[in-house]
Structure 1
């Protein structure tokens, strides 16, 4: 078994449209992503960086947002974050993601970390509880953050057994997913599923239209002219234009 030394809290940062230098990122990512402890950042691929966090809190911070904007002078670079694993390949994105679970109408006496983590483990690995749940300042709904596999089935309800007098009563409660990213097994990317995949369904791609053609060029290509565009040469649109008015001839003896 391959040992994953110092990679327990490792995150992959992916830049899709250019990226700053690795020297700049080593300073910018901790500051602009609000990391609290030391991190080690290195180039993993030509547009991927490996961010090794030293504490779980920073790992959760990086994984809790779908993307970050890293600013360098007047430019901003989009960085998406993913959990690193030993099967990493640059062409594919992991199916693991951090998501928030909400448990509406759960009685406040169950707002105990061990109980909440036990409930949330039905979806994934629990990693955090929000402050309002811990402080019981929002007793209408408990929230837990988990690390889950997007390819797995996600339960919609859970059961809790409650003592009602001398009898055990089973109560069923709803699980609400605050945001569940989609994953495409064809593209191996997060952000869409098979139903919205352009590779699987080319008809879903938006048509690429050239709105800069004038009516004459469009007609030559067999297209209907665009009535909103002015003609390039008005005389070509009107074969018998009206002549412009001319001044009358001068009278004899008069200028």
Structure 2
């Protein structure tokens, strides 16, 4: 990704990506029912939906999709954490005939699960292909998600911008920043910085991000 010299106005709010979790102790109010063309509907605010996600521990949720059979769910609860090398706790529940919902406990496991598009899980001399997909409130088992994890590079970026928060500020122009690579973190490759981001493949991606240093 080429670099130039002015800061762009991004449509995404960088600060909102790293705000603290909503207050889970605050109860959600009952919502009134309204009617549209004779059909009942209930309207929730976006903030309330976010609160629901945290209350149900879904902020690091990942879908596991099996296309060619899968072990019993009680067996998957033992197999997945071990063979996917998860470091934290993981709540695993059946979501459908071919899908399981994995509630990871930390960002590291969430990123690692989504960074690999598929895992081959071995059980009783059989190998089962499990694809990993991002969960969101509008997840539809019948549709393929367009969200994925990818590395983006910033060649020729001045080394003073290798601070994690500054790299994330740049990466948010492309997607949701998740992780800085070890070479960037350890300052062993000053010629190029890399950031792992969550992106929508149907989105438009800039080839250039402008940077400016403003004098006071």
Aligned to 1:180: none
Unaligned runs of 5+ in 1: 169-255
Quick check: 1:96 aligned with 2:182? no
RMSD of the TM alignment (CA)?
A: 1.5
1:122-161 to 2 correspondences below 5 Å = 122-161=173-212
Quick check: 1:62 aligned with 2:113? yes
Q: Give the TM-score normalised by the residue count of structure 1.
A: 0.62
Report the Cα offset of residue 138 of structure 1. Answer: 1.2
Deviates most, 96-105 or 46-55: 96-105
Quick check: 1:18 aligned with 2:87? no
**2:100 and 2:208 mapped to 1: Cα distance?**
38
Aligned to 1:83: 134
Report the Cα offset of residue 12 of structure 1. Answer: 0.4
**1:23 and 1:128 mapped to 2: Cα distance?**
32
**1:52 and 1:159 mapped to 2: Cα distance?**
38
Quick check: 1:110 aligned with 2:161? yes
**1:131 and 1:57 mapped to 2: Cα distance?**
14
Q: What is the aligned length?
A: 165
Unaligned runs of 5+ in 2: 1-43
Aligned to 1:49: 100
**2:128 and 2:156 mapped to 1: Cα distance?**
41
Aligned to 1:40: 91
**2:86 and 2:203 mapped to 1: Cα distance?**
30
Report the Cα offset of residue 162 of structure 1. Answer: 4.2
**1:138 and 1:26 mapped to 2: Cα distance?**
40
Q: Give the TM-score normalised by the residue count of structure 2.
A: 0.73
Where relative contact order (Cα < 8 A, 6+ residues apart) is larger, the structure is: 2
Q: If you compute each CA radius of gyration, which structure gives the higher value, 1 or 2?
A: 1
Quick check: 1:73 aligned with 2:124? yes
Identify the match of residue 28 of structure 1 among 58, 64, 79: 79
Which runs of 4 or more aligned residues in structure 1 lie more than 4 Å from their structure 2 counterparts after TM superposition? none
